[in-house]
Every structure is written in C-alpha cells, then in structure tokens.
Structure 1
Amino acid sequence: MKNVINETTIQLGVCYYPEHWPEKLWEDDFRRMKEMGFQYVRMAEFAWTIFEPIEGTFEFDLFDRAIQLAKKYDLKVIMGTPTATPPAWLTDKYPEVLNVSREGVRYHHGSRRHYNYNSEIYRTLSKRIVTEMVEHYKDNPTVVGWQIDNEINCEMNVFYSEADHTNFRNWVKEKYQTLDNVNEAWGTIFWNQTYTEWRQIYLTRPTVNDSYNPHQLLDEKRFISDSAISFVQMQADIIRSITDKQWVTTNGMFGHLDNHRMTKEALDFYAYDSYPNFNKIIEDNSFMPLRDRKWSLNLSTVRSFGGNFAIFEQQAGPGGWVNRIEQPTPRPGQLRLWTYQSIAHGADLVLYFRWRTATKGSEIYWHGINDYHNLPNRRISELKQTSEEMQKLGSAIFDSKYVADAAILTDYENEWDGEEDKWFGQFIGESKEAWFKAFQYHHIPVDIVNVTQNMALETLIKYKVLVYPHAAILTEKTANLLKGYVEQGGTIIFGARTGYKDLTGQTYMKAFPGYIKDLVGITVEEYTLLNGWQKNPYVNLFDNQLNTHGFNEVLQPEADNVEVIGTYQNAHYEGKPALTRRKVSEGTAYYYGGVFDYQTAALILEDVEISDYRSKFTLTPDIELAVREKDGEIVYILLNYSQEAQTIYLKVDMENLLDHDITSGDVTMAAYDVLVLKEK
C-alpha cells in the first residue's frame, strides 16, 4: 500500500459531503480540517444526481469548486463513484434496475443500494457515469484515488430480479456445462427436483415449507459474490483504462462477497468502515466479553484480504439512524483508542466519518466529528491530539507488518453453506470468537487466514498454531495441505463437525471426520445436536469440568499414539473421549468433539507451545497487545479497553514513541489509553 498511496507516514482524513451544506461553509470546513492535521477528504459517493441531473447531461461545477477549495488547503481528495444510489429519474425510467425479494416483491426508490448488479441497463448507465467522472478528474492532481460504489452488499446481499435469475442460469450453465452435472452437484434426485431443461433453473424461489435445496443455495451465494465482484471489476477497469495516476479501492465488508478475490483481482488495497460502538457489541454480556474489542477481530479479517489497508469510515461520535442502530456517545479517550486499534491491525490511512453530523435524512443521529452547531466539542479536541501523535510517530509504524505466530482459519464455502445448515453453521462464529478471545486475553497476537483450494503450504508454515473450528466442507486437497503443515512442526486444532462435506455441500460416505481422519487419528463414534431436550453433558478437560453446548461428538481413537485429554460426563457416553491430541512427525493435531467457548479454548491454548510476550510485559486482561515489525524493528502497541486505569509492568526498558520517554517497571495506563513502545 505504501507505493500506492504515495505516503511515508500514517495519514488521517475525513468524509465530507459538500452537496449537503451551504457553500459559504466549505472554506471554513476545509481550513479547520487542515488545522486538525488531516490530509485526505473523501466525497461524492452518493451524488449521482449532482453529476447527472438529467439522463445524458453531466455537470461538475459543484464538485469542481469544492475540490478547488480543498486544493487551496493542500487536502487530497478521494472521489466515490456514485453507483450505490441510482437517481430517481433512472429508477423511474428503468425499473428493471431495482432489486427484488425472493418472493418477487420489487424494492423501490427511497433508501440506498436498491439496484441489482446484473441489470444490463444499470451496468451501461454505471459505465457511463464512471467514465464521465474519471475523464473529468483524471488530470486533477488533487484527486488521488477512487472509491468504487459504497459498501458492496451492505443493506441487502441477496438478489432476485429477472436479470439475476437469467444471469444465474447462464452462470450455472458455464460452471457445469451439462444438466446431468447440475443435477449431480445439487442432488436433485432428492424430492424429484431433477432439471430437464436449462430454462427450469432459477435462483431459489419461495417453497411450500420454506425449505431450499442447500446445494443450490451454496451456488447461489457464489453467484452473488461473482456478480458483485464483476460490478466492481467493471468500474475498476474503466478507471485504469483512463488513468494510472489514481488508485482504486472500495469499502465495507459484508456478506456473500469473496473480499479476498475482489481485493486481489480488482483493487489496489481494501478499505474498511470501522464502528466499534455498535449497540449489539456494547451489550455483549457473554463470559469475557469483547465489546468494542470485537473490532480487532474484524480488522484482523480485513488484514487477511491483502495486507495493510485503509479505514474510510472510522467512528467519530455516537451512531444511529432515525429508526435503528442506537449507539452511545464514545467516552473520553475512546475515539483515540479506536483510531489506534485500526492502525495496530494494519490501517495506514484513517478517515473519520464524518466531518459534521447531518441535519437531514435517515442518518441525522449518526454523528460526525462536529455537531450540528459547528462549535468546538470534546471529540474535536481528542482527534486533534490523535492527529498530533500521528505526526510524532512519523514513519515508525507506517507500512509495518502485523506479527503473529497463530492464525484462525476461515473460508467462504463453510461460511456460506453454514448459513442454511444449522447443524454446524451457527457454531463457526461462536468458536471463532471464543478462540479470538483466548488469544486476546492471553496477549498472543493472531491472524485470520482464508483457506482456498489453491493455497500454498508456505502460507501456513509461518504459524506455530492454527485453529480451524468447524470446517464441515473439507476436501482431500485441503486435508493434505494441513497434514503437510503438521508434519513440518505445526500445531492444528479442529472442532466438531469437521470434514464430512464436499464442495457441493453433500456429505462424504466416509467415517467422520473425512479426509483428516488419519491426521487426527480418530473417528466419530456418534454425535448429537444439543438443543435443550436433554441436559447438556459436561466435559472434563485437563481436570477442569466445563459445560458443553451446541454439539457433541463422541470420539473413537484409531491410531496408537492418540492421547485422550478430555472426556464427557453426565451423559450416556460418560467417560468417552471429547478431546484428543496426537503427535504427527514434528507437529501436533488436536480434535475437540464440541463447540468452543472461551474456557475450552483457553485451556487448550495453555497446552500448546507458542511464544508469548510474558518476558517483556505483565499485562492485565483489559489490555490488547499488537506487535508490528518494520525493517527488523519491533514496535508494541498496547490498547486499554477499560474505563478504569490499568497498571502494567514493563520487564525491559522501553521507549514510548509518543513522548520519547524511556520507561520500565510499573506503568499506569489511564482509561482507554494507548502506548506505542519500542525496546531499547
């Protein structure tokens, strides 16, 4: 990303919508942005009608004036292509561009993201507006990059317009070539769903019992992802055909979208929108809750798309629409903390959303840096301090790499298949979060790694520990890859419901856990979904009695060197294996026949061999440790998520890069405080 954005230090900026405000405010706004140390302004992603008020008539005066003022204050502008909100004239004249529900109900104009990716007329009109905008701004040195659309697949990530049905039919035909192949992949012999003509194939439609072919649904999600990527690629190709001086990205992270492939094939880097204060996170009352720290998991996922990234919307105040998403006002220090949270996980460019809180529309309670009255406030002071600290840090952590010896494995196939399959899908998120908590609270940095069918062993062997919780879909090729990883000295941890499905979502006629059976050295004797009809069994792990939930698999050791390190209690499978460990060449493979929670993950983590940083620090659970490396130099970022001061202990001399003091021993971090340290 360093060479793409042409910077050498971490930069801050803000989202601004000149079309929302009287022009007499613009210059003062830009002047104050510059005074806060901001370098970037993002604009125009919802302004199609401003650029094309009448079909085929293009006007650029408003944004030309805004960009000229931004230039006066040496601000760099990121332009958004406005295709997330087609104009009323467009949807009125071409209603076929609108998205449709599975039930066939057309969504109408009045919100956002109301279009579908496969409408030919929408693609044609999108190409034209993007071409006109890029041609107009290609030689403007103030415009440095383009954001394509806005938050792909946000609001709605399923599409059932006539164009979608038609393109899905073509997609299926291209993928499978013959109807026999389709029928085999979708298992249509069941319930007499066999297709005999291509015209009979549609995306899923309402059924009498709301039950849909699960194998067709998996392909449906793959198709939706391909459609979205195609739409982004179309715009990226236009931009790059016109200019090589402006970079290309898009923002978000939403469902039914292979963000890894989109980033690799269409973007220069990925941009994320980070809002750690979402109410559903703040209300997390689980054991050892993550709350706003959950965003470190999201940011780790974003980092896996393609390395360092940008934040195009960093929370800058309380959030909420007029009818949903209620968030409290961030407490003193939290905006600074969340900025460093993003940077700690790989953001080299952070833009706050937004400059001033909107006075009109659905987001009048989604607050920006400035309140409606435009007067000084606490948030402005806090972000000005943060900006000044970025300047002190200089190039110390820009373009640095996140250092982790552990990774949680994920993949789109299981995520998408699991949306329909309640016998494993709901457990993926539970176990991923449980393991992330365990790594966080043990102060062990962790990556998220996406598993693909063409993954190289080199991607995995840099990690000492891998966790792959509930990979129901697991091919022979992936199993061989994971075996190679363990044989070279790695440790891998599996959970229940692993390895029993192929890429179509159909089950193997093999002993569970399928192709990894020989790696873990066990088979599954029997299994049960825990749904409250019977009391959930306990599991005894390392002499600790813990509750189980979700699912139980009773394990049967098959290899001589399988160690049983956990057993079930209070069930008809009393005393039978629940957790096993097996040495394989230089490595170790664990298999747990259940769904992970924090306690289970923490106990297993304490059993594996992985380096931590206890020789450097004694940290409280409320502190997150992120480790960054650049040119052989290691920088430690400590984040206090508690509203209380935390006392930590530095076991070696450290330089605080924010004030250049040298310190060791007891250090008190204030509520929501941040330390950026380098060992002396």
Structure 2
Amino acid sequence: MEKALHMKRIELGVCYYPEHWPEELWEDDFKRMKDLGFSIIRMAEFAWTIFEPEEGRFSFDFFDSAINLAHQHGLKVVLGTPTATPPAWLTHRYPEVLNVSQAGTPYQHGMRRHYNYNSPVYRELSARITRKMAEHYKDHPAVIGWQIDNELNCEINVFYSEADHQAFRTWLQQKYGTLDQLNQAWGAVFWNQTYTDWEQVHLTRPTVSDSPNPHQALDEKRFISDSAISFAALQAEILRETAPNQWVTTNGLFGHLDSHKMTDELLDFFAYDSYPNFSTIYPDKGDKPLLDRKWSWNLSAVRSISPTFAVFEQQSGPGGWVNRMEQPAPKPGQMRLWTYQSIAHGADMVLYFRWRTANIGTEIYWHGINDYHNKPNRRVEEARKIGKELNSIGERLAESRYKAQAAIVRDYDNEWDGELDHWHGPLTQESTMAWVKAFQYQHIPADALYIRPDMKAEELLKYKLLVYPHAAILTQGTAALLSEYVQKGGRLILGARTGYKNEHGHCNMAPFPGPVSEICGVSVEDFTRVGPYEEAPGIRLEGSEGGRISAGQFNEVLKAESGQAEILAVYEGSYFSGKPALVKNPYGEGFAYYYGGVFNLQLAEELLKESGLSKPVDWVKVPETVELAVREHQNGSTFVFLLNFDHSPQEIKVEKEAKNLLNGKIVSGSMTMNPFDVLILE
C-alpha cells in the first residue's frame, strides 16, 4: 500500500516548545501564528521529564494547558514521543541504556540521542511513556498525529553497548541459523577469523589499521537499521492500538536506516527536516556546485518513500549550535524559495523550525522565525506572505504529484558497503552529484528510485531513463529486474564497478560487470586507478561537439562482447588509448549504456543528449540557475514550478499564455524573476 500524506490543502505550521517559554507568552504566540496563516504546531518531542518527572509518576497538566490553548486558537497539534532525550533519572538509574562508542566508552547525559535501541529497560520505559501519552491524548480534538522519537540515527548511527552486541548475535542467528553459515557469509576463513561459539561474535570492534571484516561491517549496518525499525515499531504498535484515529509518522532521513522499509511497515507517511543552507557550507564537489539547490535531490529521496510527505522542520533562519555559528542567514526571499522547493518536490505540510530562537541550551544559535527579542523582523513578514499565498492556492496544489521522466537508482546495501569500500563509495557520490546537476541544469525533473526486494519492472518502466552509477553489489534478482526494464524499452546507464559483488559483499568469480554483462554487451578487460603523479586520461564521444572529456581517477578498459554493441567513446592519453570507454548496447526494445569510469557533469550532459531525453515543458525557456519542477493532479491539472536559486535577477520566457498561480495573473512572453523568486504556472 502506498504511504503518502493525504491533505485537503497545503498546511503550514511551526515547531513550538512551550516548556522553553513563560506561560504568559503562549497566547500571544498562538494568536500570531494564526495571523501568519499557520494551522499546525509540533511539540513535546524532548519533554519526557515533564510528562514523567519521577519513574512511574506521570503528569500531563503542563502540556494539557498548552494544547488546550492551541486548540482554542484553532491550531492542530502533532505530538512527538519524547524518547530522543531520556530523563536524567533514567540514565542515572539504568546506565545500561546509554549508547557506547566502538572503543567501549559510554556516552553520558548532557546532549541527545545518547541511548541505545536494544536495552530491554529502555524499550520497556519508552513503551510505557508512549502508551501513557497515547491514552491521554487519543481523543483530544487538537491532536492529529504522532511523530515517533525525533530524527532516528541523527547525531550518531552506530551502537556498541552490551545490549547491542547481544542483540546482534540474536539477529545473526535468525539470519544465518548456524555458525557455519555465518562464517561462510563473512568469509571468516580469511586471516583465521572463524568463529566456533556464538559468544565470540560481536559488532565490529577496534582493529589494527582500523580495517574491520567488510562483510561483518555490512551486516552491522543492516542490523543497526533493523534495530532502529524495531524500536520505532515498539512505539508505532502502541499508537496504532491506543490512538487509531491519529496518524503515525517520524522525521529524518539519516544513515544506517532503511527508511523505506520502516515507512512501509510502520508509518502512514514519511516526514523530513529540510535545511538547505547545509549545502552552502558543505558544498558538493565538482563543477558548478548546486549549493542550496542540492536540497532538491534530498527531497527527491524523501519522495521515493512518500510521494507526498511532510516537512517537520523547514529552515527559517541562520544555523549553528552553542559552539559554532556556521550558516549565513537566509537572504530576503530564500525562506520562501526553500518552502516552495519543498512543496514543488511533494511536501503537502511544511512546519518551520522554529517559532522563536531558543535563548537557552545548545541551539541558541539555531535561529527560528522570531528572534530572541520577539519583535517583528523580515522573516516574520516573509512567513506572512507565504501563509497568505498558500491560503489562496493550497487546495489546488494538495495531493498533486511530482512528475519525472528519469530517475537515479540507489540502494541501501551499496550505500552502506560504500562507506568502507573506497573503490565504489566515493565514486557513487561523485557520479550521483554529476547526474543530479545534469538533470537540474538541463531542466529534466528526476526522481530518486530505491531498489526494493519486491519491486516489479512496471515501477521502473514509468521512467524513460534510469541511471545506476556504480551498483557494486548487484544481485541476480536486481539484474533480472533491470534486464526486463531494458527489454521492454527502457534506457539504462551504468558505470564502473557495476556487478562485482554479491549480497554478502564477496567479489564474484566472473568477468565484470557480472550479472548485467549480457544487457550491457561488454566485459571489463582491465582496470586501474590513476596514480598520484599521473594525468587522468580523456575520452571523446563520437559525433559530440563537447570535445575531450576527462575520464577521471578510475578507469575500466572495456571489451565489446555483443556484435550489436556500439562503441561511443575510447580512451585517450594512456597505455589503454584507443580502447573502449563507453559502450551502447541494444537489448530487446531498449538500450543499455556502460561507462568504465566515474561520471562528471560534462559527460552526463552529453549522455542526456545522446539518450534523446529533453525537458518536459518546452514552452518555458529558463536559464540553468532556475530549477524547473512539475506537479500533476489526477484531474489533469499541471503546475510548473520555477525556482530562482540565483542571487541576481534571471530572464525567462513563457511562450504561451499561462496563469501565475501565486497572483492569479495571466503571463506570457519575457519576464524577469527577482533573486530567490518563485513562479508557479498553471
């Protein structure tokens, strides 16, 4: 069953922490929220001690007052279960609940997310506070839904407490059954790592050269994901049973967590926390960095989980923690731009973080809509403009879906294996960003598509083009799925190191690219990294006007095995000059492309031309600094979002009459978009 957010209109709101403020501020806060057009607030995700000040003694008076007052002012409430920050009484009395570093050092009280998912007592106490809250608020007219915990696997996504080691053994016993099967899966015969008793088996521990068994490390990440999902399930089951009329979700998108599986099994939809300015201080590598526009790719990953979703934390101010002020303030218009960036990509609920900047604690430099002084500022006025616009158009946009004709393919096993394996992990990051930029700058809306165990070819065939940059781990099942996609007319682009590992991370004893060799019509004859004092070779596409393209720091020398295979490019400037670098192979009704290197922006754009893919809205001419996104409704309505991410005005041309949804005017011809401006054309 599809997991999506179903709203009658785009809802706008804000995160609010009544425990941080004197009660005499609450009513004025709620009045001003309504004045800005907000309808939903999120609260309580860090307030366990207020609900349970002593073990076994519960109190709801404080939040009853806040929620009742919010209800009086017409605000709906999303409640967070408060398990991301255990009380001091809990960690003091039960130190076994604390997470532990790989070296064995417990993380102490004083921050957040310092617990582990597998401690029996923490699971018991988390279940109890969840049940008590659900029983108390299940019929409250203001409470519409629940957020489980907060940002699972944020801050830290590895766990090494004694409870985790024990749970890992149980997980392995269920997965493999016997030690012989485990030893085989982990290749334990290598360097005499063979286990003869289950008590000898642990999560990875410090090793010489910090180089653990790679197959053990891959299973560790699978286990951590299952542990987080199990902890979320503990709460989700209680909420479903106790408060069946309120929806259940959680927020995040963090490492070592299969968010697709969690959502499919537990949630009504997925929620995300969107902070585009992170990409301005940690920009993507390579040519022409996307900066805050890169967040559109993050939102595409969220959309692969829920086609319509919620943003529970939308950036509204400069970011930083008490020991660092690291992000610039949003420029005038950027908060509005980022809001519509989220909506363009499928968000039907957007809650800003936060209502007022905290004047206490770790996040005193993580600014919200209001400053400490609580007086009017430009961000408040910008929020007012957004609220007014969405009050007018929110019903039109709600439940329309992002429309893409291409997708970049991903999977969790390769993401997790690639953290340790520097053959394919960094290659995938580099190639993925090259393709994200190519789609963005060529104005071709693209999805993220995660390979799932039960996926059918029909799910792939809605895309004209799939790019799966470096699928090192490639099972026979996935290969068969890709084969069917190409046979039925799809176009598939693959890159170096494809298909050389099985599901355990063992290297296949077969010519690369292994299970997809027949689709691609090639084998890998040789391969090399470019040495530190060597110049990377180049390639030149046949018939291309783009000139020489760098082949990057890793190269596979290809051999065409199919009589129909077409060599599109050969290497230049190396001992393998003249050898194939890029091959196109017809297969059934479609084509497969195999490139023996790491993709860059120039090559990705050339391959888009070669594949025949073009932007879906040919009546709008926009510069590459403006993102184009499309949402379509089942009733046939189409909404074209134009988002100017540039600091300067940009000229666009609308070659037919269209309605500007944001002001109701009919537009056509040449237009100027102001810096960080937004247009929605219908």
The TM-score bracket by the shorter chain reads over 0.9
Q: For structure 1, which runs of at least 5 residues remain unmatched after alignment? A: none
**1:654 equivalenced with 2:649 (yes/no):** no
Of residues 573, 578, 583, the one that matches 1:570 is 573
Number of aligned positions between the proteins: 678
Query: 2:246 & 2:310 partners in 1: Cα distance?
Result: 15
Of residues 590, 607, 610, the one that matches 1:587 is 590
Q: Provide the residue aligned with 1:634 in structure 2.
A: 638
Deviation at 1:284, TM superposition (A): 5.0
**1:603 equivalenced with 2:606 (yes/no):** yes
Kept in 2, the 8 Å contact 1:263–1:305? The answer is yes
Query: 2:402 & 2:77 partners in 1: Cα distance?
Result: 28
Deviation at 1:279, TM superposition (A): 5.8
Q: For structure 2, which runs of at least 5 residues remain unmatched after alignment? A: none
| 1:669 counterpart letter in structure 2 | M
- Percent identity reads 58
Alignment of 1:151-300 (within 5 A): 151-278=151-278, 281=281, 283-284=283-284, 286-300=286-300
**1:120 equivalenced with 2:120 (yes/no):** yes
Deviation at 1:615, TM superposition (A): 2.4
Query: 1:84 & 1:108 partners in 2: Cα distance?
Result: 14
Q: Provide the residue aligned with 1:74 in structure 2.
A: 74
Of residues 661, 667, 670, the one that matches 2:671 is 667
- Superimposed CA distance per residue, residues 577-623 of structure 1 (whole angstroms, 9 cap, x where no aligned partner): 11111111211110010001111111111110224235211110011
Query: 1:128 & 1:11 partners in 2: Cα distance?
Result: 31
Q: Flag the 1:624–1:473 CA change in 2: closer, same or farther, 3 A.
A: same
**1:625 equivalenced with 2:605 (yes/no):** no
Three-state SS of the structure 2 residue aligned to 1:136 is: helix
Kept in 2, the 8 Å contact 1:279–1:327? The answer is no
Q: Provide the residue aligned with 1:458 in structure 2.
A: 458
Kept in 2, the 8 Å contact 1:498–1:513? The answer is yes
Alignment of 1:95-106 (within 5 A): 95-106=95-106
Q: Provide the residue aligned with 1:391 in structure 2.
A: 391
Query: 1:420 & 1:396 partners in 2: Cα distance?
Result: 46
Query: 1:397 & 1:340 partners in 2: Cα distance?
Result: 11
Deviation at 1:547, TM superposition (A): 1.6
Query: 1:118 & 1:415 partners in 2: Cα distance?
Result: 24
Query: 1:123 & 1:635 partners in 2: Cα distance?
Result: 46
Q: Provide the residue aligned with 1:510 in structure 2.
A: 510
Query: 1:556 & 1:166 partners in 2: Cα distance?
Result: 49
- Superimposed CA distance per residue, residues 202-258 of structure 1 (whole angstroms, 9 cap, x where no aligned partner): 001111221100001000000000000000011000001102111101001100000
Query: 1:402 & 1:6 partners in 2: Cα distance?
Result: 15
Alignment of 1:516-531 (within 5 A): 516-531=516-531
Q: Provide the residue aligned with 2:328 in structure 1.
A: 328
Deviation at 1:560, TM superposition (A): 0.7
TM-score by length of 1: 0.98
**1:645 equivalenced with 2:638 (yes/no):** no
Deviation at 1:7, TM superposition (A): 3.4
Three-state SS of the structure 1 residue aligned to 2:208 is: coil
Deviation at 1:561, TM superposition (A): 1.0
Q: Flag the 1:614–1:135 CA change in 2: closer, same or farther, 3 A.
A: closer
Query: 1:599 & 1:242 partners in 2: Cα distance?
Result: 55
Deviation at 1:155, TM superposition (A): 0.4
| 1:625 counterpart letter in structure 2 | L
| 1:106 counterpart letter in structure 2 | P
Three-state SS of the structure 2 residue aligned to 1:419 is: helix
Alignment of 1:428-439 (within 5 A): 428-439=428-439
Q: Flag the 1:351–1:178 CA change in 2: closer, same or farther, 3 A.
A: same
Q: Flag the 1:513–1:284 CA change in 2: closer, same or farther, 3 A.
A: closer
| 1:224 counterpart letter in structure 2 | I
| 1:628 counterpart letter in structure 2 | R
Query: 1:655 & 1:372 partners in 2: Cα distance?
Result: 40
Three-state SS of the structure 1 residue aligned to 2:305 is: helix
Query: 1:593 & 1:2 partners in 2: Cα distance?
Result: 37
Alignment of 1:39-78 (within 5 A): 39-78=39-78
Deviation at 1:285, TM superposition (A): 6.8
Three-state SS of the structure 2 residue aligned to 1:306 is: coil
Kept in 2, the 8 Å contact 1:527–1:553? The answer is yes
Deviation at 1:286, TM superposition (A): 3.6
Deviation at 1:535, TM superposition (A): 1.9
Of residues 604, 613, 634, the one that matches 2:616 is 613
Query: 1:351 & 1:259 partners in 2: Cα distance?
Result: 20
- Superimposed CA distance per residue, residues 423-453 of structure 1 (whole angstroms, 9 cap, x where no aligned partner): 1111111111110110010000001010123
Q: Flag the 1:394–1:210 CA change in 2: closer, same or farther, 3 A.
A: closer
Kept in 1, the 8 Å contact 2:3–2:268? The answer is no
Query: 1:5 & 1:525 partners in 2: Cα distance?
Result: 49
Q: Provide the residue aligned with 1:557 in structure 2.
A: 560
**1:470 equivalenced with 2:437 (yes/no):** no
Kept in 1, the 8 Å contact 2:283–2:290? The answer is no
- Superimposed CA distance per residue, residues 37-66 of structure 1 (whole angstroms, 9 cap, x where no aligned partner): 100010000000111111111111110000
Kept in 1, the 8 Å contact 2:3–2:269? The answer is no
Deviation at 1:459, TM superposition (A): 0.7
Alignment RMSD, CA only?
1.4
- Superimposed CA distance per residue, residues 633-654 of structure 1 (whole angstroms, 9 cap, x where no aligned partner): 1111110001111111111111
**1:416 equivalenced with 2:416 (yes/no):** yes
Three-state SS of the structure 2 residue aligned to 1:349 is: strand
Q: Provide the residue aligned with 2:347 in structure 1.
A: 347
- Superimposed CA distance per residue, residues 65-88 of structure 1 (whole angstroms, 9 cap, x where no aligned partner): 001110111000111100000011
Q: Which moved more, 1:316-325 or 1:73-82?
A: 316-325
Deviation at 1:532, TM superposition (A): 2.0
- Superimposed CA distance per residue, residues 428-481 of structure 1 (whole angstroms, 9 cap, x where no aligned partner): 111111101100100000010101232111110111000000000111121111
Kept in 1, the 8 Å contact 2:344–2:631? The answer is yes
Query: 1:604 & 1:585 partners in 2: Cα distance?
Result: 20
Deviation at 1:359, TM superposition (A): 0.2
Q: Provide the residue aligned with 1:133 in structure 2.
A: 133
Query: 1:412 & 1:529 partners in 2: Cα distance?
Result: 25
